[in-house]
Structure 1
Amino acid sequence: MDLTDHNKIVKHFFEDVPQINLDYIKGFTSETGIYQHSKFNIPDYHHGYCLDDNARALLLLLMFSVEENKPIENGLIKTYLSYIYYSQEENGWFRNFMSYDLKFLESIGSEDSMGRTIWTLGYLIAHNPFLKYHPIAKETFDRIINHVVTFKSIRAVAYSILGILYFLEKYPNQKSQLEQLSDLVDFLVKEFEAASTDSWPWYEEILSYDNAIIPFSILKAGNFLNNDAVKEIGIKSSIFLDNILFRNGHLSLIGNNGWLTREKQNNNQGQQPIEVASIILWYKELSKLNLDVNASEKIRLSFAWFLGVNDHKESLFDLENMACFDGLEPYGVNQNMGAESNTAFWMSYLHAKPFCK
């Protein structure tokens, strides 16, 4: 497939779907929050809800409102923000998983789910169109934020960096958040220095899930801090990841059926839509730099992954349901249409759109 083919596919898709369509997501949401998983195109009550997906869904709505300059008055922002608030304990920690009968299934959630929530709350606080939600968002943010320095998950730290950067747009002189930002960036720098070699300039000895979010956060933090050493780490790791993701003229994601290590060849089975959303955000950041990565073209190629420009040559978007399938498995397309996949698809759509007209 040559480059003109995927450009035509993407262009035609945006002509057929000229604006974001949240009908499936709205139908996938109850009064409590967005359901976690589906069985084909209906909610699978067996898996209930989770903080992760409600934070993702809220971030999508907020970004849609900002990027498209369109207010959202469909009640979903309140629903997702209410779930986040209810998930938080008085001590600031969040719980992640909730059963269909509204019982939390753990005493404390994953660091990654908390980091994503911090990112979402920071984004909300940074933008004035959501002023009526700022008091509850800031109260929730303030209760969790002092815990971030205990995080050990690299991705949780990356998500938290993004949230703090947005928070500082609103409160640029908040000393405690400036210190936390520096501490979190130092953590990622030390992880990079400990794991990286000349042939493996990365933050871990493995490439697993949502990899692009790490250099994305480092690049944004390095720019905010005006720290050339941090920016250089972001650039080195970005070039490394860029060289891995695109093979045979299309995006080939690292699959979750076995991650990529220094010793093992890449596994491309179990590719997930969440990867694409972060990749597009990352390339948007790279497009601001003078790097030879052809960022605009990579954004179009990344979105084309949803439309069949992938290892299986199968589309993951279903026009009848206006919804995204859950990923590429060894047997082909996973026919379920869960929350993560659909929030990732529409976030990818939102940020790819300016590059795909």
Structure 2
Amino acid sequence: MRITDRIGLLEHTDGIVPMHERGYRVEDTAYGLTIVCREPAPRDELVTLARRYLYFLAQAQAADGSFRNHLGYDRHWKDVPATADSWGRALQGLGTAVARGPVAAIRGESLARFDSGAQLRSEWPHAMAFAALGATEVLSVIPGHAGARRLLAVAVGIIGEPAGNPVWPWPEPRLSYANASIAEAVIVAGRDLGDDRVVRNGLRMLDWLLSGETRCGHLSVVPAGGWGQGESRPGFDQRPVEVAALADACARAAAVTGDTSWLTGVGLCVAWFLGDNDARTPMLNERTGGGHDSLEPSGRSRNQGAQSTLAMISVLQQGRRVTAAQAARAEAAPSA
């Protein structure tokens, strides 16, 4: 709430102070819509945020369904509509709002915006993965939605098959950012399209990624500059969005397979934010409520921008769900 004004989510902060002159991004605002709509029984203030984020996305969407990304504080767009990550993140946010929006008006408008954007395709695997995650949300409430199903099928093709090399089974030669979203998109596409082989491909990718991003019992995730085969670890600066993508993917894998061992990955993600990481530094700032932008060798950056704070909230949402599910299972278990 602190980094949202009457227009949308401000991208950057100086410490905790929003930097208005740096403007807004569709990627962040769409992520904000996703996180707010995932919150169970949101209070009125959060419903207001959801409406504001949705309105921002509506203004960013072109007539053909594509999305701009960067709005200056002067209220002028700094780029042209495209089908890059802003398009993918927007469809993820809109799809989540279709399935979980707190009021009917948000759900209806989000569906119309999703339908427009879902007619397009992107050449970029990450953009298609984000869009696929929105499509699976739509299918959870509208199982016959043809546009969402087509989008999932195309996403699988754009992302590609895992490589045959067991040392590097990732479909790309280098890990970059929010990597687990790629694996999660493959998992949900396989499930929703009824293709067990695709599900197994996604699980294989996620298992390899989780193993590679675990070091000495804690997460040591891909740094901002990416990571390739043979490069030394740990790497810095580590970004919260990578951890958030991993938590989402592990929670999804547990839900799809019924294998609760995947929830160990969610626990590692929560622990990373609480300080069980390569710098032994909490990335959650309990005093301000913000998430720090990057984990550095000597600690953490002082800035607490939109993407990092949203990633922190996202991971804590997943951790809360895991804790609630574990408590429910314990209560339901017969006494000895």
Q: TM-score, normalised by structure 1?
A: 0.85
Give the aligned partner of residue 317 of structure 1.
284
Give the aligned partner of residue 329 of structure 2.
none
Deviations 1:301-342 (A, max 9, x none): 211111111100111222221222111124421000100011
Q: Pick the aligned partner of 1:295 from 262, 270, 275.
A: 262
CA contact (8 A) 1:260 1:267 kept: no
The aligned runs of 1:204-283 (5 Å cut-off) are 204-256=172-224, 258-283=225-250
Deviation at 1:170, TM superposition (A): 3.0
Deviations 1:105-146 (A, max 9, x none): 011256111111101111111236431123321222122111
Q: 1:94 aligned to 2:63?
A: no
Distance 1:44 1:312 in 2: 27
Distance 1:181 1:224 in 2: 8
CA contact (8 A) 2:66 2:83 kept: no
Q: Secondary structure at the match of 2:317?
A: helix
Q: Secondary structure at the match of 2:198?
A: helix
Give the aligned partner of residue 43 of structure 1.
18
Give the aligned partner of residue 22 of structure 1.
none
Q: Secondary structure at the match of 1:276?
A: helix
For residue 165 of structure 2, what is the amino acid of its counterpart? T
Distance 1:308 1:49 in 2: 29
Post-superposition, which runs of at least 4 consecutive aligned residues in structure 1 deviate over 4 A? none
Q: Pick the aligned partner of 1:192 from 136, 155, 161.
A: 161
CA contact (8 A) 1:259 1:267 kept: no
Q: Considering Cα pairs closer than 8 Å and 6+ residues apart, tell me whether 1 or 2 has the greater RCO.
A: 1
Q: Secondary structure at the match of 1:287?
A: helix
Distance 1:215 1:125 in 2: 23
Deviations 1:28-79 (A, max 9, x none): 1110001000000100123110101100111111001xxx334544421111
Give the aligned partner of residue 171 of structure 2.
203
Distance 1:71 1:217 in 2: 30
Deviation at 1:174, TM superposition (A): 2.8
Distance 1:335 1:132, change over 3 A: same
Count residues with an aligned counterpart: 322
CA contact (8 A) 1:31 1:79 kept: yes
Gap regions ≥5 residues in structure 2: 325-336
For residue 192 of structure 1, what is the amino acid of its counterpart? E
Distance 1:128 1:121 in 2: 9
Deviation at 1:160, TM superposition (A): 1.0
CA contact (8 A) 2:29 2:53 kept: yes
Q: Pick the aligned partner of 2:140 from 169, 174, 185.
A: 169
For residue 221 of structure 1, what is the amino acid of its counterpart? A
CA contact (8 A) 1:159 1:217 kept: yes
Q: Pick the aligned partner of 2:41 from 40, 59, 69.
A: 69
Distance 2:149 2:311 in 1: 29
Distance 1:220 1:44, change over 3 A: same
CA contact (8 A) 2:149 2:193 kept: no
Deviation at 1:286, TM superposition (A): 2.5
The aligned runs of 1:301-340 (5 Å cut-off) are 301-340=268-307
Distance 2:206 2:288 in 1: 35
Q: 1:118 aligned to 2:94?
A: no
Distance 1:340 1:198 in 2: 33
CA contact (8 A) 2:223 2:239 kept: yes
Greater shift, 109-118 or 42-51, is seen at 109-118
Give the aligned partner of residue 84 of structure 1.
57
Q: TM-score, normalised by structure 2?
A: 0.90
Distance 1:92 1:152 in 2: 16
Gap regions ≥5 residues in structure 1: 1-25
For residue 308 of structure 1, what is the amino acid of its counterpart? G
Q: Pick the aligned partner of 2:113 from 131, 140, 144.
A: 140
Deviation at 1:278, TM superposition (A): 1.3
Deviation at 1:355, TM superposition (A): 3.0
CA contact (8 A) 1:253 1:271 kept: yes
Deviations 1:75-94 (A, max 9, x none): 21111111100111122211
